[in-house]
Every structure is written in structure tokens, then in C-alpha cells.
Structure 1
Amino acid sequence: MRVSVSWLREYVDLPADLPAADLERALVDLGIEVESIVDLADTVQGSLVVGEVLEIEELTGFKKPIRFCRVDVGAANGTGEPQEIVCGARNFAPGDRVVVILPGGVLPGGFAIGARKTYGRNSNGMICSERELGLGDDHDGIVVLPEGTAGKPGDDARPVVGLDDVVVEVEITPDRGYQMSLRGLARELALALGVNFRDPGLVPAPAGTADPAYPVEVRDTVGCDRFAARLVRGVDPTAPSPEWMQRRLTLAGIRTISLPVDITNYVMLETGQPMHAFDADRITGALVVRRAEAGEKLTTLDGVTRVLAPEDMVICDTGAPNPLAGEGVPISLAAVMGGETSEVVPGTVNVLFEAAHWDPVMVGRTARRHKLFSEAAKRWERGVDPALPLVALDRAVRLLTEYAGGTVADEVLDIDHVAPRTPVVLPVDLPTRRVGVEYPPARVVALLEQVGCTVARGADRLAEDAGEVGAVGGVEALSVTPPTWRPDLTDPADLVEEVARLDGYDKVPSVLPTAPPGRGLTARQRRHRAVCRSLAERGFVEVLAHPFVATELADQLGLPADDPRRQAVRLANPLSEEEPLLRTTLLGPLLGIVRRNLGRGLRDLALYETGAVFRARPGAGRPPVMGVDLSVINI
């Protein structure tokens, strides 16, 4: 995940002079892997200035349109005279202000700029596009600064185009999905640096109303335990996304598409709540949220027609007939990607925003089944705060009406089946016993409350609030209710990890444990080592084969029909469909190694393997390991 420090500062009071090294250290100390910290000002070397186009001369006689421009760059060129620049872009006119890099400068990627003669004219510098500045993928035209932008000709253009920022790229571990947002990272930095944090997820938002914003029925409250929606009518379909929003999305690695779609992505990065925008006029009936019917198809936004599985969750439009007898036609692969038939198009004037809470296991399996790892799916499978939908919707509709007009409907849909968090009973001395650092009870409580947990101490409060006893094994116990944004906190061990993490991993000592007294090797271990040593002394080489075999192996080995080694355990998710069984004898995989060596011209072979074999047992929950087997081959 990539975020800009200026965006982080909107939610956390980072010191103005915070060095990049201190920022990286704070993140690493919290257990966050930092991929890179890039000062954008250093990506462009030399003079990058604001210029005002004075004159444009159209050059003819070439294969493509070429323009010879005279640009006022103030005193930045040392003379104060207009700068002569040849440019092929056509999206600017005299009087526009542009971004100019003067000779001697270097653009991202090591592209050096000089003075040269081209198309019969002298060109001293370059008028830059977004791609050339590393700000985006747009290379069709150069950057034209909006009216009212600060800065006069000759001023440094870096602050004007956002190249005065610092971009942080972090790698988020699968158990900490809350960090995949500005909200989560800002909270973590506030804890690490001891500064103020403003939570964008706790902003008041309109509650659900008796009349829904749009008729919706949720058929599966396990796969979707909350579904919220709001409708905005009469927006300007030509309204562009504001420049600051496009810049932040681009720096985060997300392509800008249209204002409604950009808003959903922006709110997702800001709060961590994935959203979807529907064109309300392209939906013909009520919506139904359900599991897919086997064989149903949906063309997603990437243009791929996907065959759905019964475990997939879909949002369906009941106004269209379904040939497979399922109610409604799928218009969105829930929590993963929307469908083409209801997407926002250039003419969309009525926008239906959806924000829901989906089952992480379902989303993870759906994303892998369809090989569709969208930004939304990455967050859902890690866990998203179920308290966010209404806040995210309110933020989205406010942004849309601010920049595209329109009217927000008074109705708010909120179908809420979210179960309250279950308190976790934590012996107050468990962090000390597990980590080896003395954590006083008050310190444990304070650290857990910093995370956002609600902590109850004492027998009376535990009995009253959580129905728990006040002590475990004679030790005081805490009743800890994790916050809604931390689905990873489910066990006492998780809370112990949080205490150690926030108190500082550097405080945990490195102490080797004392080995318990023993009686040496068992008779079985001695026998096993003696056999292996004897084989090695006779020139045999030990090999290690994969425990997976093909279904036809028993026939190839000529095993009798009643041989128990024919009853192999089949894997539900094998690495290869050609070898879906667990071995019942070491001979098959060992012969495969022999064949591979013979095929490569190695004739002098003496191999052996010792390892586990697996025998099927009716009614067993998992395949039992039937001891250790030994196979030897000598050629």
C-alpha cells in the first residue's frame, strides 16, 4: 500500500520536521514492513518551474503536429527572456500556465533534458506531461495548471503539482487488514509517536431510515451481515474528479476513472471501507443479495465473463429474468468486482452508492476461484470494520454533491445483522509470563485501551458486564472487548502480542531457554539412526521425495486388489491434479526419483528414503500417519 505523508497528516499530527528515517523506524517498530520512503522532490532534478505560454507557432510539413512555443519562465533561465520550446501536445493555448523543466534537469527514470535543435527550431527544455513527471499515466497532453493555482512564472513547480510530498509504501501482513487504510496507518503512527489522532471512521453519519434508499433484500446474512446504500440524483455526468483527489489516487497506484468511481476508491483508501457505485437508471428492479446459482454468468468490469459458483455472493437485479431460475440477474460479484450492466457510465446522472460488510472467508475463496484480486477483495479477506458503512456512505455522497452537484435522497438503507464482539478473558499476568517482560496490570490495561479495546477489571464488573469470573486460577482476569476494526483480536495470545508490540519489541530480551533433562534417544530413534548409518556406510544416498502420488500408482506397482495400500487418502486441494493422493508406500516416489536420474544418464545409483506413509481409515477426520517406512533401491 502506498500513501502520501501529506494525506496522513490530515488524521495524525506528525511533527513538521519528522525525518524519513524516524518515520520508517516508527513503522518498523510497530511490525509494519516498509518497502520504501520516497521524497518526490528528489525524483526530478534541476529547475522545474511554472511557465506561462506567450505564443504558439504551428509548424507544418511534418508527419505529426508540432508547435513552437515561447514560454515565460521568469528569471529561472537566468535571462528573463521567454524560453523557446518545441512541443507536440495540443491541449494548451496561449495564456495557459504549464510545467517546464529547463536544460540540465533530469526527469524520473534518468531522462536528461538539454538544449537541442529539432524540427528546424531550437528547443531549450521541455513542457511536461503527467507521465514525464511520474505523477500518472496520462501522456496525451501536458499538464495545464488550473486557474487560481498559486505560483507565478519562474516559481518552483514542485509544490504546485504535488512533487513536494513524501510517499510511503508498506507491506501489510494478512492479519492486519485495518492497516490497509489511511485511518489504520494514522492510528498506528499516533500510538508510536505519541501524537493526536483524528479518526475519520467515528464521524457522525445519518442512521438508517424506515424507508430504504433503494429496495434491497439480503438472503444470506452470514455472507453479508450488513448492507447499506444511499442514492444521489441529478449529478453532473461531466464533472471531473478534483485534481487533489486524482493526485492522491495516482500516488496510491489507483487509476482514475470517473468522479463517482474515484470517490469510492478514495473513501476506501481513507477509511478502509470498500464501496461500489451503481448507475441507478440501469437497474430495473429491486436488488437481492444471495449466493450464486451454479452455472450463472456475470461479465465483470474488466470485460471477462465469469461462471459463478454456489459459494459466490452476488447482488442481483430482480427486474431482469434469469434463465437459471435464480431470482434476478447478477449485476455484481459481491465484495470483489462490479458488473458491466450496472456500472457508472459517462452519462450517469443518478448514482446508488453501496457499502456492505461481507464474510472474509467467502471473499477470499471467491477471489482465488476467479483469480480476481481487486483492491476491495484484498481488504475484505483481511477483515473490514463492520461499523463503517454509514460513515463511508455519508463521506461519498458529500464528495459527490460537492463536485458534481445533485440531490441526496433523505432515505438511508441499513440492513444490520452484525453480531457484537465477544469479550476475551485475559489473565492480567499472561503478557508477563509469555513475553518475559514485567508488565504491571495498569500498563496492560493502558496499552489495550490505546488499541481501542474496552477493558473491565475486577470480579464485580466481570460478572456484571461479561458474565465471567473475576479471576482465572486465582489470578486477576481482564474482560477485553476488541474494537470493531480489529477482527484479528480473538484470543488471549492476540492481546499479549498487542501488549508486546505497543510496549516495544526492542524491550523483549533474547534469552535461550533451559533444555529440560532427558534420557537420551528412544529405542526406536536409535534403531532408525543405526539403519540409516549402515546404509550410508555402504554407499547409499538418502533422498527426500514428495508424499504425493498418482491414482494409477497401485496398478503400476502390481498391488493385489485387497492390498490395504490401495486405499489412499485423496487431497481436497492437491498441488497437482496428476498426483492427488497421499502415498501409502515409499516405493512409488522413490522409483520416480530413480527414473529421473536414469533419464539424465546417471546409472550408478544407490538410494534410500525413510519417511511417513499415510493409510486411509474410514471415519477418520484427518489421514493418520502410519509410522515410518523404509525403501531402498540399488542399481
Structure 2
Amino acid sequence: MRVSASWLARHIDPAALPARPEDIGEAFVRVGLEVEEIHPAPEITGPVTVARVAEIEELTEFKKPIRYCRVDFEAREDGTVRSRHVVCGASNFAVGDLVVVTEPGAVLPGGFAIAQRTTYGRVSDGMIASAKELGLGADHSGILVLPPGTAGPGDDALEVLGLAEPVIELAVTPDRGYCFAVRGLARELATALDADYTDPAGRVTVPETAADAWPVRITDTDGCARFVVRRVDGVDPAAPSPWWMQRALLSAGMRPISLIVDVTNYVMLDLGQPLHAYDASRVTGTIEIRRAAAGEKLETLDGQTRALDPDDLLITDESGPIGLAGVMGGASTEIPELATLAAGARVDVLLEAAHFAPAVIARAARRHKLPSEASRRFERVVDPALSAVAAERAAQLLVELGGGTLADGRTDEGGVPAVPPVRMSLSLPDKVAGVAYSRGATVRRLTQVGCAVDLDTGTDGHGVVIATPPTWRPDLRQAADLVEEVLRLEGYDTIPSELPAAPPGRGLAPAQLRRRAVSRALAEAGHVEVLPFPFVSDAVWDDLGLAVDDPRRRTVAVSNPLDAERARLSTTLLPGLLDMLVRNRSRGTEDLALYTIAQVVQPDAQPSAMPDPAVTARPSEQEYAAIRAALPDQPVHVGVVLAGKREPRGWWGAGRPAGWQDAVEAARLTGAAAGVELRPRRAERAPWHPGRCAELVLAGTDTVVGHAGELHPKVVETLGLPARTAAAELDLDAIPLRENLPVPRVSGFPPVAVDVALVADESVPAADLAEALTDGAGELLESVRLFDVYTGDQVGEGKRSLAFSLRLRAADRTLTSEDANTARDAAVAEATARHGAALR
């Protein structure tokens, strides 16, 4: 929300308003508002003067419209008029209009110097300026035309336009929708400055009327609580908006368009109530507020025809939909453009001011991808008591500025919902903050917020505040909300900040230590941690080649997803990791080893219903147990994906591409960092390649904790991944948590290396042979490593030779050749017994 100091001064005591915009920003911060930026006054030097367009010569020999204009300034003492000739490419002005001319020697924002120059075959002695060029806004569609009577030719445009005034931009949080209006911001600023505040809504007199301005029927009372219509006949659509209104709109970042549109926008920004203006001659019959029917369509003001959803709230008449409630009006009843009207034509205007349900408007704006200034305010709750006031204020402005006539009657269907009072102990803010506030501070602050406050001393002598929140503060519904307001306005900086003493012996939990150890180990091995998007679409499971009955397809839907196309919580880390892989490669990084450690959500096949306990008291233990039972399982997983080169190329060689071996090694490294040994075993599981997939098993058990290997070629092709992409995923919570890891024993005696080559069937996995050698060699074995694989005529068809290096060592002596041979023979015997392997 952008606002100028002069606009704020219309509602608070100008004498209390700080001269420096930085001080105004600090005052806003004191009451909890965030100042996003203070836009300084545009840096303009030199002569910038109001002039009247005297002559226009159209230069038609160019591809685009070019005008050569004579502009007149003030009259000289001798009776002549000072004038200049200027080349201009805009066409939104005519002879007799007042414009702003930057004369030679002027310097505009950005250091743009104005000088006499020759262009399009003419000498341009200055420039006719647009609002953007003057630093007044972003509109560059045409030059700035001043309304008649704003100034006279020769006047200093800097003073006339008020260009010396800075603008304050605030970031308004969704829970403080009333601050999306100068009315609310001025109230907050007056509180911060302890200044007098005049509610602009209180200045508007809403007279009693006996008749309706237009027949209205609210069919959907849940979506629309109140609907007000006021009619103004005979408005001159060609009447210019006064400069004070245009300047206010420009300071708020809005472009002045026409009197009727500018009036509705100005009232919305000033009071906070969005308005919509209809051409009364185009509205037929009773206006009805209802939900859309199946198959209905609406052409909105932007010229788009939109297919409506049954959840959409509509404004309709006998012809059908004429507006998408709270979002955008329909083209069929819009005020016609001035160019389409006959000279001197007048327009009868219907002004709509309504109170719509925030959730309904928010869903419609997102569904149709049609955010608007109106929907932003309705989403955050508009004061329901403002409808009649805003409609009356806009009607008065149209009468005053557009020469219209107020029609008899006002339609006011629905009403203002009652606001329940809130009871709070008078001493509760002091107890929460740990501060003894001055007597009367609680009542004073709640009154400044707008609450109607009563006191009840009670029979026990303890004072109780009974506060009825104002209609513009729907967020004040319980005692805690009132406490927050008192603390906010008294100043959060007055609350003492004391850190509690940290009790000794309470560091990170064992699970946290293990998670950090795993992350550190993967990072030290050359993997890069990423934070993938945790949401997926249902289509991703087909892309990964999961079977129809795969449990990973069973997901939990998100009620308010950030992305409607990814509205479900993922049961695996792979979709997000693979997305990150593709995104990084699209930005030029080809050699990637990514990992993440995060929770996944794995619901039961028959989930329990989630209970909804009351908020008036603490849930019981039975309710807590029911909540825990209804929550889906959320284990912590470790995911790794690899593509490109695992070892870079250089003068030393061509490098080595990443493969399934690296994924398996990353999984084993994860197990080692967690304090366990994981052994790979052949497996088949989507989305991995059936022949290049391993399941990771806890050593000494049959517990599978994850899978690793190369992804299936069809998955690689579907997702646009590099060839031979490898991945691993482990369930970290399935690995037993060992709080006291054994201290490694280091032997001072030398090791003995023994190599064995075993011939076995090709179907026997190398990991199974390594496991057999490990079990057979016994306690002397320190490590076993596969270093060669051979297939050929020497070992026979369907066979292969696998060479292993056994590293043997004793903790208490130097091994003899006999010890080493005995261990080797025992290892070979075990491999023979299990897998029929023969020593080559």
C-alpha cells in the first residue's frame, strides 16, 4: 500500500505529522507495520512549466504518429505570449489542453537532461512530459493532461503537481486488511504519534431513504452478506478528474483513467471499500447475487470470456452474469468509453458497494488468475459497515465533479453481522508481557483500536474488560487478540528481553546428531545439498513407472496448495530431486551429485479420521492420542541423484561418468555415517533399472532400508534426464539409532593382503560373494574389495570370474602365512558352499 503524507494529513492533525518521511516510517514501524520503501520526491531541476497547447501539426510522413506542437506559456509585459515548438509522439491531448513542458535546461529523474534538438525534421525546443517521465507513476501511455482550472500557462509545474512530496510504501500483512486503505493507515499513524484522528467514514452523511435505488436479491447469503446500490443520473463522462484526485491515485501507484473510474478507485483507497460502477441503461431487471450455474460464461472488463465455476459468486441481471463478484465487472454493463459517446452525452451510473465472503473471492481470483485491487481487499475482509458510506461518498463526488443528480432511494440488502464482545482480565496484558503498564493503558489502547470498552469489577475484585471489536477488525475474537493489540501499541520495545538459562547436558538429540553426521559425510564426499519442492502431482507416478497398486501412489492432498498442479505431499524424495537435477542442467551445470534429507508423508491404506477438538480448553489425552493416530507416517529419508561425470576430466584423463556404483556407494556411506553397515543385494523396484538396482540391507539382518542404482531408461526419457542417471533413497528412521557408537580399535600390527579369484554363475551377485567371503574369513578379516571381473572362454559360458582382495589383520599379533591361508581357505569354502563358486 502506497500513501503520501498529504493524504494522511487529511485524516490526522497535520501539525502532528513529522516533516521527514523517515520519521513517518518509524512511527508506522512502532505500531507493527512494515515499511517496504520510502520513495523520495523525484529529482527534477530546471524549468518545468505549465503550458497550453496552441497548435498541433500532424506529421504523416512517418511510420508512427508524430505531432509538431506549439505550446504557449505566460504573457509578456509587451502583451505577446511566450511559446515553444515541441515534437511529441503522444496523441492523448488536443488544442486548448493544459500540459507540462520540460524546457531546455531541465533535468528529469534519472539524469535525463532536456535540450533543444532536431528530430523528425523539426526543431524540438523542449518536451511535453508524461507522468512517468516526471516520476509520478509508471504510466507511459500518454502525456500528462491537467484538468481545467488546475493552473494557468506559465505556472511552475513542480508546485502545481506537488512533485516535492515523497511517498511511503508499506507491506501490509493479510491479517490487517483495514490497512489497505488510508483510513486504516491514518488511524495507526495517529495512534503511533498520539495525534488526533478523524475517521473519514464519519464525515459522510448517509441520509435516510424510503425507496430502493434498484431491485436487488441476495440468493447466496453465505457469499454476500450485504449489497448496497446508489444511483447517480446524468453524469458527464467527459468531466476531468481534479488534479488532487489524480495526484492521490498516482501516489498510490494507480493510473487516472476517467472521472467515474477515478472516483471509485479514490474512495476504495481512501476508505477501503471496493466499488463498481455500472451503466444503468445496460442493467435489466433485478440484480441477483448467486453462484454460477454449470456452463455459464462471462466476458469480463479485460475482454476475456471466462468459463465459470459453480463456486464463483456472480452479480447477475435478467440477461445473465454481469460481474464476477469482488473480482472484476462484466463487459456488458461497463461505462462506455468517451470515444463511443455522442458529444455532450450523459451517463446514468449504478454504484455497487458490497460485503463478500473473503474465501469465496480469494478462490475466484486464483481460479481465474485474475488478481485485482478489489479482490486483494475482499480477500482480507472489508469493513461491512462501510458499504453504504462508500457508495454515498462516491455518489457525492460524481454529483460534485461530474454534474450528476442523486436519484431517489438507496438499496441496502443484507446487513452488518453482529460482532460478539470479548472478555479479558484487566491484568492479562501485564502478565503476558511481564511489564506493569500504567493505569488505564489497556482501556486506552483498546479504544484507540476502535473497540467499545466496558469494565466489570466483578465480585472477586478483579477487573474484567468487555471489549466489542469494531467491524473492521474481524481478527479480534479472543482475549489473546486483545492482549496483542495492547502490547503492540504500548511498544514491543518496552517488553524486556531475557534469555532463559540453558540447562547443562541438553544438546542435540541423537537423531539430530545422526542426521548432521549423514549430511556432513555426503557433503565431504562431493555431494551438494538441495531443498526440493515437497509437493507432487498424481501424474508423476506414471512418469516414474510405478505400478497401479504401488503404496507410493497413496498420497495426502494439501488443502491450500501453493501450486494447484502439485497439490499432494510426496511419499518419496525422488520426484523433487530429479526436478532439481533437470533445473540445474538447464542452467549449464552438467556434472551433478545432489542430495537431500527430508521427511516424506506415507499415509495408511485406511487412515483414521482427524478429530477436531474445541479451542476453549486443552485437548484431553484421548484427543491427543486420536490426533497422533490420524497423522500419517512421516519418516526421514535420505535421497541422492547423480548424473554426468563423477570424476572430472583433465590432463590426467577422460574422467569417469557417474553410475549405479556411485549411488550404491552413497547409500553405504550414509549407513556408515549412521553407525551401521549396509550391504547391497540385487533387487527390482521402480523407478530403477531391473538389472542395475540394489536394495540396502542392514548387516546381519534381513531389514531393507532403501534402494540404489541406475534409473530405468524409460523414466530417464520421460523426465528428460541425462542417460544413465543414478539415484539412491534410504529410510533413515528405519536404521536403528545407536546413541553410543563403539570406539574404533586400531591395531599396531601390519595387515596381510590375500587375493582370491572365484568363478561363479553370472546370476550370482558380487555382493553375495563378498558377503560369503566376509562371513567365512572370520574376525581376522578387516575388509573385502572387488577389484576385477572377467568373462570369456577361459571361465566358460554363463560364468564369470570375480577377483577379491582380502585384507587381514589381528589386534594382538603379526599374522603368519598359515593364519592368512587358513582365513582365505575358510572364506573360499563359505563362498563355495553358498553359491557353488570355485577357486580359479
Residue number in structure 1 paired with 2:655: none
After TM superposition, give the deviation of residue 538 of structure 1 in Å: 11
Task: Call closer, same or farther: CA 1:46–1:227 in 2, change over 3 Å.
Answer: same
Amino acid at match of 2:169: E
Give the TM-score of the pair, scaled to structure 2.
Answer: 0.63
Task: Call closer, same or farther: CA 1:74–1:200 in 2, change over 3 Å.
Answer: same
Residue number in structure 2 paired with 1:106: 107
After TM superposition, give the deviation of residue 360 of structure 1 in Å: 1.0
3-state secondary structure, aligned to 1:331? strand
Task: Report whether the alignment pairs 1:500 with 2:487.
Answer: yes
Task: Call closer, same or farther: CA 1:163–1:28 in 2, change over 3 Å.
Answer: same
After TM superposition, give the deviation of residue 410 of structure 1 in Å: 2.2
Instruction: Give the distance between the partners of 1:181 and 1:608, measured in 2 at CA.
Output: 44
Task: Indicate conservation of the 8 Å contact 1:84/1:122, yes or no.
Answer: no
Residue number in structure 1 paired with 2:609: 620
Greater shift, 110-119 or 543-552, is seen at: 543-552
After TM superposition, give the deviation of residue 412 of structure 1 in Å: 1.2
Residue number in structure 1 paired with 2:451: 453
Instruction: Give the distance between the partners of 1:204 and 1:70, measured in 2 at CA.
Output: 41
Residue number in structure 1 paired with 2:134: 133
Task: Call closer, same or farther: CA 1:215–1:593 in 2, change over 3 Å.
Answer: closer
Residue number in structure 2 paired with 1:66: 68
Task: Indicate conservation of the 8 Å contact 2:147/2:243, yes or no.
Answer: no
Instruction: Give the distance between the partners of 2:37 and 2:664, measured in 1 at CA.
Output: 54
Task: Report whether the alignment pairs 1:344 with 2:335.
Answer: yes
Instruction: Give the distance between the partners of 1:625 and 1:171, measured in 2 at CA.
Output: 37
Task: Call closer, same or farther: CA 1:620–1:587 in 2, change over 3 Å.
Answer: farther
Residue number in structure 1 paired with 2:647: none
Query: Which of 329, 335, 353 is 2:326 aligned to?
Result: 335
Residue number in structure 2 paired with 1:409: 407
Task: Indicate conservation of the 8 Å contact 1:386/1:485, yes or no.
Answer: yes
Render the CA deviation track for 1:210-250: whole Å, top value 9, x for unaligned: 53211110011121111111112233343232333223223
Instruction: Give the distance between the partners of 1:238 and 1:57, measured in 2 at CA.
Output: 21
Amino acid at match of 1:174: P
Task: Call closer, same or farther: CA 1:411–1:548 in 2, change over 3 Å.
Answer: closer
Residue number in structure 2 paired with 1:430: 428
After TM superposition, give the deviation of residue 537 of structure 1 in Å: 12
Structure index of larger Rg? 2
Task: Indicate conservation of the 8 Å contact 1:545/1:589, yes or no.
Answer: yes
Task: Call closer, same or farther: CA 1:84–1:405 in 2, change over 3 Å.
Answer: closer
Task: Indicate conservation of the 8 Å contact 1:49/1:73, yes or no.
Answer: no
After TM superposition, give the deviation of residue 19 of structure 1 in Å: 1.8
Task: Indicate conservation of the 8 Å contact 1:301/1:337, yes or no.
Answer: yes
Residue number in structure 2 paired with 1:172: 172
Render the CA deviation track for 1:436-458: whole Å, top value 9, x for unaligned: 33224521111111111122222
Task: Call closer, same or farther: CA 1:593–1:625 in 2, change over 3 Å.
Answer: farther
Task: Call closer, same or farther: CA 1:550–1:540 in 2, change over 3 Å.
Answer: farther
Residue number in structure 1 paired with 2:765: none
Instruction: Give the distance between the partners of 2:119 and 2:355, measured in 1 at CA.
Output: 58
Correspondence 1:26-175 to 2 at 5 A: 26-40=27-41, 42-50=42-50, 64-67=66-69, 71-72=73-74, 82=82, 84-88=84-88, 91=93, 99-116=100-117, 124-135=125-136, 137=139, 140=142, 143=145, 146-147=148-149, 149=150, 153=154, 155-175=155-175
Task: Indicate conservation of the 8 Å contact 1:203/1:391, yes or no.
Answer: no
Task: Indicate conservation of the 8 Å contact 2:12/2:190, yes or no.
Answer: yes
Residue number in structure 2 paired with 1:444: 442
Taking CA–CA contacts closer than 8 Å with sequence separation of 6 or more, which of the two structures ends up with the larger relative contact order? 1
After TM superposition, give the deviation of residue 48 of structure 1 in Å: 2.4
After TM superposition, give the deviation of residue 274 of structure 1 in Å: 0.6
Residue number in structure 2 paired with 1:325: none
Instruction: Give the distance between the partners of 2:258 and 2:69, measured in 1 at CA.
Output: 30
Segments of structure 1 that go 5 or more residues without pairing to the other structure are 321-328, 461-469
Matched pairs, number: 603
Residue number in structure 2 paired with 1:467: none
Amino acid at match of 1:504: G
Greater shift, 83-92 or 180-189, is seen at: 83-92
Identity %: 46
Task: Call closer, same or farther: CA 1:119–1:232 in 2, change over 3 Å.
Answer: closer
Instruction: Give the distance between the partners of 1:557 and 1:68, measured in 2 at CA.
Output: 73
Amino acid at match of 2:47: S
3-state secondary structure, aligned to 1:377? helix
Render the CA deviation track for 1:510-562: whole Å, top value 9, x for unaligned: 3213346777777x74895698499769969696665546657499687795x
Instruction: Give the distance between the partners of 1:119 and 1:170, measured in 2 at CA.
Output: 44
Give me the CA root mean square deviation. 4.1
Correspondence 1:273-292 to 2 at 5 A: 273-292=273-292
Task: Call closer, same or farther: CA 1:439–1:105 in 2, change over 3 Å.
Answer: same
Task: Report whether the alignment pairs 1:370 with 2:368.
Answer: yes
After TM superposition, give the deviation of residue 498 of structure 1 in Å: 1.5
Instruction: Give the distance between the partners of 2:633 and 2:598, measured in 1 at CA.
Output: 13
Instruction: Give the distance between the partners of 2:281 and 2:109, measured in 1 at CA.
Output: 44
Amino acid at match of 2:182: L
Task: Call closer, same or farther: CA 1:352–1:429 in 2, change over 3 Å.
Answer: same
Amino acid at match of 1:614: Q
Task: Call closer, same or farther: CA 1:559–1:3 in 2, change over 3 Å.
Answer: closer
Task: Indicate conservation of the 8 Å contact 1:565/1:615, yes or no.
Answer: no
Residue number in structure 1 paired with 2:762: none
Task: Report whether the alignment pairs 1:479 with 2:466.
Answer: yes
Task: Indicate conservation of the 8 Å contact 1:300/1:337, yes or no.
Answer: yes
Task: Call closer, same or farther: CA 1:121–1:190 in 2, change over 3 Å.
Answer: same
Give the TM-score of the pair, scaled to structure 1.
Answer: 0.82
Render the CA deviation track for 1:30-59: whole Å, top value 9, x for unaligned: 22222333453x432123245578x86969
Instruction: Give the distance between the partners of 2:491 and 2:84, measured in 1 at CA.
Output: 58
3-state secondary structure, aligned to 2:268? helix
Instruction: Give the distance between the partners of 1:59 and 1:568, measured in 2 at CA.
Output: 67
Task: Indicate conservation of the 8 Å contact 1:554/1:566, yes or no.
Answer: no
Segments of structure 2 that go 5 or more residues without pairing to the other structure are 611-626, 640-662, 666-840
Greater shift, 443-452 or 400-409, is seen at: 400-409
Amino acid at match of 1:338: G
Amino acid at match of 2:416: V
Instruction: Give the distance between the partners of 2:144 and 2:554, measured in 1 at CA.
Output: 69
3-state secondary structure, aligned to 1:234? strand
Instruction: Give the distance between the partners of 2:564 and 2:131, measured in 1 at CA.
Output: 47
Instruction: Give the distance between the partners of 2:422 and 2:637, measured in 1 at CA.
Output: 48
Residue number in structure 2 paired with 1:22: 23
Query: Which of 489, 494, 518 is 2:476 aligned to?
Result: 489
Task: Call closer, same or farther: CA 1:542–1:14 in 2, change over 3 Å.
Answer: same
Instruction: Give the distance between the partners of 1:125 and 1:590, measured in 2 at CA.
Output: 59
Render the CA deviation track for 1:455-492: whole Å, top value 9, x for unaligned: 222255xxxxxxxxx78xx9543222111111222233
Amino acid at match of 1:274: P
Task: Call closer, same or farther: CA 1:5–1:609 in 2, change over 3 Å.
Answer: closer
Task: Indicate conservation of the 8 Å contact 1:613/1:629, yes or no.
Answer: no
After TM superposition, give the deviation of residue 387 of structure 1 in Å: 0.7
Correspondence 1:193-208 to 2 at 5 A: 193-206=193-206
3-state secondary structure, aligned to 2:278? strand
Instruction: Give the distance between the partners of 1:538 and 1:275, measured in 2 at CA.
Output: 60
3-state secondary structure, aligned to 1:634? helix
After TM superposition, give the deviation of residue 2 of structure 1 in Å: 2.0
Residue number in structure 1 paired with 2:243: 243
Amino acid at match of 2:29: V
Instruction: Give the distance between the partners of 1:382 and 1:107, measured in 2 at CA.
Output: 38
Greater shift, 242-251 or 83-92, is seen at: 83-92
Amino acid at match of 1:291: R
